Amino acid sequence: MDTQVHSSSFVTTDGVRLHVLEACPPDSDMQNPVLPVIAFVPGWSMPAAIWREQLLALAATHCVAALDPRGQGESEIAGNGYNIARRATDVREFVSRYERVVLVGWSLGALEALEYIHRYGHAALDALVLVDSSVGEEPETVPAAGPGLRERLQQDRRATVADFMNGIFGATRSESEIADLTDAALRMPLEASLSVFPGGVPRTHWRDIAWAFPKPLLYAVSAQFAAQARSLQQHRPATQIEIFEDAGHALFADEPTRFNDLLARFADGESDKPRDPD
């Protein structure tokens, strides 16, 4: 990681140390940014470092921060709190460190961002970015983890996690990168890694939160969620959508230049009217 990206941490209200990666342009700082801080929340079992291309590129113009959720990356492996309610509170305590925030949530992190808004409101946010996660629109899409995850993890956890890591990218990644992501994911206890999924929550819960969000909303998706993106824009016309047709689930890693440019313009309020690139 470039030396301009440094580690920080904070202790949650339930006593868990969470690790954060931060960076700012030379003429700014995290507590007094010229523009809103772009704050990233990764997906299931992922470390904050999955956003490395965003942190390195966007730090030239924006203050940026990426959270290691509890049990992930370099954050503490807590004994509890691996549920949507507590993790939404963790997101609240993460963004409260900064005066102005554009919150970016990917996959499970997008649902945690929506739950944070549901529980605590949107006052701390300038805008919201949801990346390749279901927002409760039709058609329903099978999660990236796929069916039968619990059984496969119990049978051969390392192989299952490695397959998952390979599957989130549209292009082949190096063996060392997949191994590093796999090792990072295996830090969290198995049952904790499964309990973070918000089972039993109706899909309309996420849809209603997204529909009601009154500030700028960007929904960036791969082809698997293209239909949901168009449906969300139909029901919430102010939504900006961007479809990465050739990218995998980790579209920001597959097409970092395009994603970074999109995100920088959106954070600056310079995006065009909502559009579908198709």
Has residue 173 been placed in a domain? no
> Which residue shows structure tokens 């005066």?
99
pLDDT over threshold 80, residue 147: no
pLDDT over threshold 90, residue 7: yes
pLDDT over threshold 90, residue 236: yes
Three-state DSSP at 130 gives: strand
Has residue 175 been placed in a domain? no
pLDDT tens figures, 45-95: 999 999 999 999 999 999 999 999 999 999 999 999 999 999 999 999 999
Could you tell me which of 207, 200, 216 has the C-alpha nearest to residue 269? 216
More confident residue, 270 or 24: 24
What CATH number does the domain containing 68 carry? 3.40.50.1820
Has residue 167 been placed in a domain? no
pLDDT-derived band at 130 (thresholds 50, 70, 90) equals very high
Within 8 A by CB and 6+ apart from 86, the residues are 14, 70, 80
Has residue 68 been placed in a domain? yes
What is the extent of the structural domain holding 55? Answer: 6-142+191-267
The structural domain count of the chain equals 1
pLDDT-derived band at 205 (thresholds 50, 70, 90) equals very high
What is the arithmetic mean of pLDDT over 144-154?
77
Has residue 183 been placed in a domain? no
Has residue 85 been placed in a domain? yes
What is the arithmetic mean of pLDDT over 230-237?
98
pLDDT over threshold 60, residue 272: no
- pLDDT at position 187: 95
pLDDT over threshold 50, residue 127: yes
pLDDT-derived band at 34 (thresholds 50, 70, 90) equals confident
Three-state DSSP at 27 gives: coil
What is the arithmetic mean of pLDDT over 257-273?
88
Query: If you average pLDDT over every residue of the chain, what do you get?
Result: 93
The C-alpha atoms of residue 100 and residue 252 are separated, in whole angstroms, by 23
pLDDT over threshold 80, residue 202: yes
What is the arithmetic mean of pLDDT over 102-121?
98
Has residue 158 been placed in a domain? no
pLDDT over threshold 90, residue 278: no
The CA-CA-CA angle for residues 188, 90, 112, to 5°, reads: 80
pLDDT-derived band at 145 (thresholds 50, 70, 90) equals low
- Count of positions (residues) in the chain: 278
- pLDDT at position 143: 61
What is the arithmetic mean of pLDDT over 186-213?
95
- pLDDT at position 28: 83
pLDDT-derived band at 36 (thresholds 50, 70, 90) equals very high
Has residue 147 been placed in a domain? no
β-sheet with 125-131: strand ranges across: 6-11, 17-23, 64-67, 37-41, 101-106, 125-131, 217-222, 240-244
